[in-house]
């Protein structure tokens, strides 16, 4: 367990380990490894359930990850403005504290559900599940989940989403993919953000960042853009359009039957 930030326990799963919770005591009464395995297993069961919700309605769910301040919310504001005439969009916002980002998103005219994680430096499937039930998925095409700003923990927790989008701003080091391989290996697309600032930064090389990404053997595309100037934005919007189309086609082809949550547990343990 991570004693520093308590990151394995969130407001979404703490009921499982507190008081008379399902995993409050382990076989020997104290094994932290067992507790962690149980929590990750519970998370994956819940993620499966979340994904079924999204799939049933043909909604594309995107997990947006990056370090703090790399421009996730600004990217969402620009993206929503560009696409809201084409798609119905909602946002689930994860932050340690405050509703600041959700309020920014609401000003674009789309629903935003704020999740305040307290000490937990990532979102988990239980927290996302609570937020999903505050949205009418039958009315939506895309749900963006803006994860807590952190390049480590969010990559380890399945939320029930379909695609990981990892931002790397040019104000950060171009070796970030090498330093945080789990996060960048998980990316389905990497966005180099804030490229309007490149003329002022002589120590950031987009080529080096892309090379670090490729060195991880991750074939994901790397798109360079600026939410501020909208430079490179169209390529990102086109990627999203294709993902929405794919998700809708998959939803039509897959017959969905509703399972009760306890049935997932059997399926997910195999």
Q: What is the CA radius of gyration of the chain?
A: 19
**DSSP secondary structure code for residue 17 in this structure:** T
Look at residue 5 in the predicted model and tell me its pLDDT. Answer: 54
d(C-alpha 132, C-alpha 123), whole Å = 13
Q: Which two tokens stand for residue 174?
A: 């171009």
- Strand duo 112-116 + 89-95: pairing: parallel
Residue with tokens 């994901």: 220
Rounded to an integer, what distance in angstroms lies between the CA atom of residue 163 and that of residue 54? Answer: 12
User: What phi, psi does 61 have (nearest 5°)?
Assistant: -110, 125
Residues in CB range of 129: below 8 A, 6 or more apart? 12, 46, 49, 50, 160
pLDDT value, residue 249:
93
pLDDT, residue 261, reads: 42
Query: Per-residue DSSP letters for 74-128?
Result: HHHHHHHHHHTTT--EEEEEEESS-SHHHHHHHTTTS-EEEEE-TT-SS--HHHH
Task: For residues 193 and 173, give the distance between their C-alpha atoms in angstroms, rounded to a whole number.
Answer: 12
State the helix-helix crossing angle for 32-56 and 125-132, rounded to 10 degrees. 30
pLDDT for the residue numbered 138: 97
The list of the chain residues with pLDDT below 50 reads 1-4, 259-270
160 close to 50: Cβ distance less than 8 angstroms: yes
Cα–Cα distance measured from residue 148 to residue 221, given in angstroms and rounded to the nearest whole number? 23
């Amino acid at each position: 367990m991570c004693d520093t930030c308590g990151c394995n326990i969130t407001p979404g799963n703490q009921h499982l380990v507190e008081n008379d919770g399902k995993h409050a005591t382990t076989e020997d009464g104290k094994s932290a490894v067992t507790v962690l395995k149980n929590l990750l297993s519970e998370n994956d069961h819940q993620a499966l359930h979340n994904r079924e919700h999204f799939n049933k309605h043909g909604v594309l769910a995107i997990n947006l990850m990056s370090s703090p301040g790399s421009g996730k919310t600004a990217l969402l504001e620009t993206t929503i403005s560009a696409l809201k005439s084409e798609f119905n969009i909602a946002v689930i916002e994860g932050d340690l504290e405050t509703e600041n980002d959700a309020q920014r998103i609401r000003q674009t005219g789309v629903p935003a559900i704020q999740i305040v994680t307290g000490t937990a430096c990532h979102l988990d499937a239980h927290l996302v599940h609570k937020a999903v039930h505050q949205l009418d998925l039958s009315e939506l095409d895309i749900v963006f989940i803006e994860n807590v700003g952190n390049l480590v923990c969010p990559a380890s927790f399945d939320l029930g989403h379909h695609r990981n989008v990892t931002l790397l701003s040019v104000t950060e080091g171009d070796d970030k993919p090498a330093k945080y391989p789990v996060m960048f290996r998980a990316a389905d697309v990497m966005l180099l953000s804030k490229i309007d600032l490149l003329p002022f930064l002589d120590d950031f090389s987009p080529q080096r960042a892309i090379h670090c990404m490729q060195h991880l053997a991750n074939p994901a595309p790397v798109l360079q853009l600026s939410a501020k100037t909208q430079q490179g934005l169209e390529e990102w919007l086109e990627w999203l359009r294709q993902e929405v189309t794919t998700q809708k086609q998959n939803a039509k082809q897959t017959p969905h039957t509703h399972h009760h949550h306890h049935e997932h547990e059997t399926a997910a343990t195999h």
